[in-house]
Structure 1
Amino acid sequence: MDAQDLDWIKVGHVKDLPEGRVKTVTARTTSICLSHFEGQWAAMDNHCPHQRGPLGEGSIEKGSDGKCWIRCPWHGWDFDPLTGTPPGGHEDSGQKLYPLRIDGDEIYIGLDPEPPHERTVTDVMAETMVNWGVKRVFGMVGHSNLGLADAIRRQVDKGALGYIGIRHEGAAAFAASAYGKLTGKPAACLTIAGPGATNLLTGLWDAKVDRSPVLALTGQVQTQVFGPGAFQDIDLKSAFEAVSKFSQPVLSTSNHAELMSLALKTALVERDVANLIFPDDVQTNPSSREAGKPEGRLGGTGITPSGEDLAKAVEMINAAKRPVIVLGYGAKDVRDKVVALAEKLGAPVLTTFKGKGLIPDTHPLAAGVLGRSGTPIASWFMNEADLIVSLGSSFANHTGIAPYKTIIQVDFERMQLGKFHLVTLPVWGEIGTFCEAIVDQVLKPADAPDQAGELVERWTIWRAEKDLRLSEDGGRGIHSAAVFKALSDLCPPDAIIPVDVGNNTYSFGRYFEPCGQRILMSGYLGSIGFSLPAALGAWSATQDFEEFRGRKVISISGDGGFGQYAMEFTTAVKYGMDITHILLNNSELGKISKEQRSGEWPVWETNLTNPSFAAFARLCGGHGHRVTDPAELKDAIADAIAHNGPSLVEIITDADLV
């Protein structure tokens, strides 16, 4: 091709490369080894044909005959800079050379006009993701997922996908898990082979046990080196077998659109983890297949309980004088129907900890959280109840539903019914359908006590107790009750609140009074470090779904939890995320210290050495404020919430005042 027909791409300036040196440059997407020796300039393919070593990271070496050679930094293969040929004995005839010219002081490489993009296997699969409604990918681009990453990039450039580049793959999995918990839709997490993939596992287990749909896209080594122990080669299918409901390698012969469709259908229907493993060499294989679509692949989700079970439930409810409803996380999407049933009965609504906030504490029938992280109000009403109607609760030990009570349990998963002990009436059906079917048939007996009035009394007692605790001062920091009173007063009613684990979370469950906020947590896994990555996922949902648009994200953790993924604060800064993080810093793994003491163990190795997290937030480019005086709490939290971007309030707290 004549020089005038080439695309001349500027790759640098002559001062960038001294005499006797080589350098890697990129023209469009072509990696080139640029060399400067004996007053001459040359450009060749940057990849050594041996193992694709980067020649531009090598050196110019003179042979015994005085001739100059470019030497590969990996295994010492040599190439003539002007011809690309080796001195002899190599498997390849030589390297491709590129036309080069210097115009003034600027260096240009001549490339053939860019051909149209050839559709690849991963293009088909990325398009299938979009067709199935995937809107967000969290991940890290690396050497064994570059073809897949480029297919995702093309969808991002079209505006069909959003991408968040995280600092640790574990954060990607937690972000995707939180995104699924909030929206019910799967997000994807992208990693390389080996350690990148295994770093996902904790976050994926969180998604699995809390029934959050997630798609894991893991790079893999080339198929030709499977098994014998190549760099970063591990058996990913076995590694992901326990944590995923669906895990398959993507091979050249796979039906790629169908494979992605099955993965996403599994994530959605089973509310579980689906994993696809992408060998490096398969990712860029050409493909002419059409992308997959969900039409004709999904049915309705309503399950109507049997008429016999409905009739029995109505009979039991109408006979009860002190019924209570336990509202669990499994009923999150039909909470309005549950509340309507409670209002018909005048029945107090107790939530599980995972269900905190599904009914506002401002509602006349709200009794707060039941269990270890709960209120004495909820415990009192459970003890007094003559019937418990459990809707979407798994009967976890943390919640502590009394098994000896008369219980109606409704769940759309039959295995959850009476899973840990027998219940009086197990009802298989969708919770919203159950509530709609019985609400017009149930009634409050004329001689039933006024439980709504009792709730007013119990809330008055509990709030007075909380106010008394505000005066407690051990001289080591602020009482957590003061933190969550301030947050209760200032938190926007539509905020999304990811919480961590530890004493800070127990105090949140006990003291924070939700008035419409949506709360996310690592429920069954109880993983420390969840809240900040979850905030990344929640903020992404506010960009992807109209129903969450404009909602503030406020995450909460202790110093131990924040330290797990602290660098993800820079991710929030990079993408301009409107996230406020409330950090309770007691320089201790306080919950573990408490467990050691209660188990008659000596307190050992729970102390933490911390920097100023507020200063850290400012160094990262966000807003940071450190609070040591309770009088400063409200102003500091209000300023952080008002800040348009990532902000952090570090509150020095007393580990014993929880």
Structure 2
Amino acid sequence: MTSTNHTPDAADNRQRNPHWHKVADADELVEGEVRVCPVGLKTVAVTRLHGRYGAIDNRCPHQGGPLGQGTVENDKIRCPWHGFDFDPFTGQAAGGPDFDVPTYPVQVRDDGVYVAATPPGAHTRTVSDVLVETMINWGVDTVFGMVGHSNLGVAEALRRAETEGKLRYFGVRHEGAAAFAAAAYGKLTGRPAACFGIAGPGSTNLLTGLYDARSDRAPVLAISGNVNSSVAGKGAFQDIDLLAAFADVAVYSQMVRAGSEHGELMTLALKHAILQRGVGHLVIPDDVQVLDAPDHPASGPQGRMPDLRTGPPTAPLQQALEQISAATRPVVIVGAGAKHDMDAVLALAETLHAPVLTTFKAKGQISDAHPLACGVLGRSGTPVASWMMNKADLLLVFGASFSDHTGISPYKPTIQVDTDPLALGRFKPVTVPLLGDVGMSCAALSARLRPHPELVDQRSEIAARWSIWRAEKTRRAMARSDRGVAAAAVIEALNGLVPANAVLAVDVGDHAYSFGRYFETKQQSVLMSGYLGSIGFGFPAAMGAWAADPDRPVVAITGDGGFGQYLAEITTAVKYGMNITHILLNNGELAKISDEQRAAEYAVWQTSLRNPDFAAFARNCGAHGVRVEDPADLSVAITRALDHRGPALVEIITDPQSR
């Protein structure tokens, strides 16, 4: 064997017991060639010139240009970015000793060319480490994102934490999917996950998913890499004002600077996200990410989090009790804000024999098998729910927004309970606005309740209305069309096959209306883009649900329009072995928009879609994929997909006119 480098740098390396790495086979490099070669964690520029081999650092000291991608001219390596010249054996720069680059020992052995590099020394804790440690202290153990050139310092800290088993990182194909997945994680668990992007477009791609979290009040942590502090605000590559861009979507958004209390900024971002149920956001410049911070303390939640459960004030509580005492047909309506207090809500409803209706966002919070359950109210709802509301003489509304899509009658006497004072009477005055925690308010009402002596037990009427509606659902499911399977038939099949403990991630589109009307929940959790109504939510949300609880069955229910927006994420699900069953209703168009055009007496225009064979695409990506065109095949196809371990897609060709 022969060694071709004999510089002081190489001698120093040898003295420190460097590790040898094979970079090429014998005679693989041609005369006058330079190439980039990995050597441990380093990359070096390896050159063959005049029968000798040289190895110098790959990074040009000017702006980091990759010397191994340059050319050999006049026996020198020329940097491909700005033309600096370097000796391939000594690392000497034509511009003077201040620009010299390190060299590495080279050995030519019988089986190839080897380069030695010193093993990395002990890691010095950085600002990124402090931020990640603080994040973990707050219980954030799941990150969805894309690694790129302006977030590499944070990415390295995340990698170390993942290696230590402290968090999980899921690399996605589009940052929008990362934000939707994090939003779904927050909706399902009440705890924040993180989404992660680079400067400029990497962070702006997060915004739609973060607006979904903002609209549905889900806690999320967003982390943006950024350009170097020295060029920020000067129009540099991918330099935009991220604080301005995130000002509306985030409840907290700050720049992490060299002199910041780094752990405290992460603590404030997460405290705001959790307490205000929104987006906490940090922007971290590239140079700040890698600053040494050996003595900077990580932060945490100890001594910082209050108990927000507050009982209702006495006067409005008494007013509410008086309204209830005067009612003979009260109805309970629950929104997503009552999700964690359903036991107390149901106890009150059972005392009053009151039907329980849910908003679409709250679907699944009560089993439709419960004798008081009436299904969803409003545009995506059941005639059972609308019938019982119309017969009511009092509405008790818990944690609902009263937006136009909820279908809550503005003409009935109403008691509204919410923890947010701005939510009370937001759109119109209510009879009794009751500020308080839903669970504690229900308990306070139940403890002092004096029901009307002629209170009607409405359970038999609820059962009769369900009998009528189920007969109609069966009729619609049995309908046949040469244009495809009826949506009612798809949902009817899911009713009998989806496990009772599944998480259902529902996209936006015509299929969602069918799901709201026809699917009868048991103990399933339902996730949707509620108030933002963002198409494309469904499959990334299923990824977030799987990450939150991989032991639960996860079913994504989407249309062809929504899935088309994040089609590539099926490769993410395959990469991480996500056990997601995807039910894709393919009707070849944006059918809900076609309906709206017809309703407005417009021509149907630009709503048709040119789709691939989604099932074949799934198989090409490594997932299970099957296509269904006959309703007789639904049960077998869905059952096999549910039994498949890993991502599975059932593409069902549906009739765009079926409802």
Scaled to the shorter chain, the TM-score interval is: over 0.9
**Aligned to 1:6, which of 2, 17, 21?**
17
CA contact (8 A) 1:121 1:285 kept: yes
Q: Give 1:31 deviation, angstroms.
A: 2.1
Q: 1:40 to 1:635 in 2, by over 3 A?
A: same
CA distance in 1, matches of 2:408, 2:489: 29
Mapped pair 1:489 → 2:500:
no
41, 66, 84: which one aligns with 2:91: 84
Instruction: Please tell me the root mean square deviation across aligned C-alpha atoms, in Å.
Output: 1.3
Alignment partners' CA distance in 2, 1:112 and 1:375: 69
| Stretch of structure 1 that moved more, 181-190 or 28-37 | 28-37
Within 5 A, what are the aligned runs for 1:409-424? 409-424=416-431
Q: 1:378 aligns with which of 377, 385, 393?
A: 385
Task: Give the letter for the 2:421 counterpart.
Answer: R
Partner of 2:510: 503
Matches within 5 A, 1:110-129: 110-129=116-135
Does the aligned pair in 2 maintain the 1:166–1:568 contact within 8 Å? yes
Distance change in 2, residues 1:2/1:492 (3 Å): closer
- In structure 1, how many angstroms separate the alpha carbons of the residues matched to 2:85 and 2:214? 51
Secondary structure (helix, strand or coil) at the match of 1:176 reads helix
Matched with 1:291 is: 298
Aligned pair partner of 2:252 in 246, 252, 264 = 246
Q: In the aligned structure 1, how far is the partner of 2:24 from the partner of 2:119?
A: 23
Contact 1:6 1:110 in 2 (8 A): no
Evaluate the alpha carbon distance shift between residue 307 and residue 5 of structure 1 in structure 2; reply closer, same or farther with a 3 A threshold.
Answer: same
Residue of structure 2 aligned with 1:18, choices 20, 30, 46 = 30
Contact kept? 1:177, 1:204, Cα under 8 Å: yes
Partner residue in 2 for 1:57: 69
Cα distance per residue 1:96-118 (max 9 Å; x no partner): 11122233223332223431100
Aligned to 1:312: 319
**Superposed displacement of residue 407, structure 1:** 0.0
The separation in 1 between residues aligned to 2:40 and 2:341, in whole angstroms, is: 52
Report the number of matched residues. Answer: 646
Deviation (angstroms), 1:82: 1.4
Q: Could you tell me how far 1:631 is from its partner in structure 2?
A: 0.5
Contact 1:131 1:293 in 2 (8 A): yes
**Residue 546 of structure 1: aligned partner:** none
State TM-score, norm by structure 1: 0.96
Distance of 1:136 and 1:353 partners within structure 2: 28
Secondary structure (helix, strand or coil) at the match of 1:241 reads coil
Partner SS for 2:274 = helix
Task: Give the distance between the partners of 1:588 and 1:293, measured in 2 at CA.
Answer: 49
Looking at structure 2, the residues matched to 2 and 80 of structure 1 have their Cα atoms a distance apart, in angstroms, of: 19
Aligned to 1:547: none
Equivalent AA in structure 1 for residue 558 of structure 2: S
Residue type of the alignment partner of 1:115? G
Measured after TM superposition, the shift of residue 444 of structure 1 is 4.4
Query: Is 1:589 matched with 2:590?
Result: yes
Q: List per-residue Cα deviations over 1:179-205 (Å, max 9, x = no partner).
A: 000111111111111110110000000
Matched, 1:558 2:559: yes
Q: Given the superposition, is the C-alpha separation of residues 341 and 18 from structure 1 closer, same or farther in structure 2, using an over 3 Å criterion?
A: farther
SS of equivalent residue, structure 2 residue 36:
strand
- Cα deviation, residue 91, structure 1: 8.8
1:35 and 2:51 matched = no
- For the 8 Å contact 2:380–2:513, the answer to whether it is kept is yes
Q: Does 1:69 find its partner at 2:76?
A: yes
CA distance in 2, matches of 1:266, 1:103: 60
Q: Residue 627 of structure 2 corresponds to which residue in structure 1?
A: 626
> Are residues 1:188 and 2:194 paired?
yes
Q: Could you tell me which amino acid in structure 1 is paired with residue 623 of structure 2?
A: G
**Structure 2 segments unaligned to the other structure (5+ residues):** 1-11
Flag structure 1 segments of 5+ consecutive residues without an equivalent.
544-549
Structure 1 pair 18–656 and aligned structure 2 pair: CA distance change class (3 A): same
Question: For residues 489 and 233 of structure 1, what CA distance do their matches in structure 2 show?
Answer: 52
Q: Which amino acid aligns with 2:368?
A: D
Distance of 1:53 and 1:619 partners within structure 2? 37
Specify the alignment match of 2:605 in structure 1. 604
**Aligned amino acid, residue 346 of structure 2:** V
Change (3 A) 1:473 1:417: same
Helix, strand or coil for the counterpart of 2:499? coil
Letter in 2 for 1:613: F
Q: Provide the secondary structure at the position in 2 that maps to 1:115.
A: coil
- Map 1:84-483 → 2, pairs under 5 A: 84-88=91-95, 92-287=98-293, 288-483=295-490
The answer on whether the counterparts of 2:23 and 2:38 sit within 8 Å (CA) in structure 1 is no
Quick check: 2:331–2:356 contact (8 Å CA) kept in 1?
yes
Q: Which amino acid aligns with 2:321?
A: V
Deviation by residue 1:222-253 (Cα, 9 ceiling, x = unmatched)? 01111121111111111111111111111110
Match of 1:10, SS state, is strand
1:643 aligns with 2:640: no
> Distance between the aligned counterparts of 1:443 and 1:573, measured in 2?
57
Whether contact under 8 Å (1:191, 1:197) holds in the other structure is yes
Amino acid aligned to 1:132: W
- Identify the residue that residue 48 of structure 1 maps to in structure 2: 60
**8 Å CA contact retained: 1:625, 1:636:** yes
Distance 1:162 1:302 in 2: 31
Larger deviation, residues 10-19 vs 550-559: 10-19
- Residue 495 of structure 1: CA displacement? 0.3
Compute the displacement of 1:39 (Å). Answer: 1.2
Identity of aligned residues (%): 55
CA contact (8 A) 2:84 2:94 kept: no
Deviation at 1:130, TM superposition (A): 0.5
How far 1:443 moved relative to its partner? 5.0
TM-score of the two chains, using structure 2 as the length reference: 0.96
**1:634, CA displacement in angstroms?**
0.8
Distance between the aligned counterparts of 1:445 and 1:220, measured in 2?
Answer: 63
For 2:614 and 2:629, how far apart are their aligned partners in 1?
A: 13
For 1:9 and 1:542, the matched residues in 2 are separated by 43
Distance 1:27 1:362, change over 3 A: same
CA distance in 2, matches of 1:91, 1:396: 69
